[in-house]
Amino acid sequence: MNNKTLAILKPDCIKKNLIGKVTAQIQDAGFKVLGMKMIRLTPDAAKGFYEVHNGKVFFDNLIEYMTSGPCVPIALERENAVEEFRKLIGATDPAKAEEGTIRKLYADSIQENIVHGSDSNENAAKEISHFFSRKELLEINGL
Ligand code: ADP
Ligand code: MG
């Protein structure tokens, strides 16, 4: 599978009323939305999602931020989805992100950086299944 990735519009994106603008930029870049919902992460769910960062200095703040308000996970489809989506969002630190990328345009800091994108095909599959069951994705897309 190299045609799917998971985006999450993070709490700062929702607080700044940017759901529409960011989603439009994603769709304009050729991504098809397969699934989209608004959720509130519990601390345990946020810790599970970011388990790879457990123990890092920014971990506790990251969990606090990700649970501070609603998030919008979006399952996306496009050729070479993981890599193309990472290009579209830009570097983790918006100060280092390329002009025109979503993080460069809208993010305030390395922590509050508007959007998540999966970093490998393997993680994309795992992360999509965190928020959307296979059955649910098939059903909502009419298959
Ligand atoms: P990315 O989201 O670009 O894949 P990482 O997986 O390295 O970045 O980190 C996950 C999230 O943790 C980042 O998007 C950001 O919200 C937060 N983060 C990463 N590095 C830092 C840092 N040095 N200081 C504060 N928050 C950070
Ligand atoms: Mg990452």
In this structure, what CATH number is given to the domain that contains residue 62? 3.30.70.141
Q: Residue 46 in contact with residue 52, Cβ under 8 Å?
A: no
Asked whether 84 lines ligand 1 (CB < 6 A), one says: no
- Return the pLDDT at 1: 67
Q: Which of 116, 118, 124, 127 is catalytic?
A: 116
In the residue annotation, 53 being an active-site residue is answered as no
**Which of 120, 73, 113 has the alpha carbon at shortest distance from 90?**
113
pLDDT band (50, 70, 90) for residue 2: confident
Ligand closest to 95 (CA) is: 1
Instruction: Please compute the mean of the pLDDT values over residues 115-130 and round it to a whole number.
Output: 97
- Return the pLDDT at 139: 95
For 60-100, the pLDDT digits (tens) are 999 999 999 999 999 999 999 999 999 999 999 999 999 99
Q: How many domains does the chain have?
A: 1
CA of 112, closest atom in ligand 1: 16
Helices (H) and strands (E) in the chain, counts: 8, 4
> Residue 7 and residue 29: Cα distance in Å, rounded?
14
Asked whether 80 lines ligand 1 (CB < 6 A), one says: no
Asked whether 68 lines ligand 1 (CB < 6 A), one says: no
4-9 and 115-117: which strand pairing?
antiparallel
For 21-44, the pLDDT digits (tens) are 999 999 999 999 999 999 999 999
Structural domain range at position 24: 4-140
Going from the Cα of 92 to the center of ligand 1, the distance in angstroms, rounded, reads 6
Entry pTM: 0.98
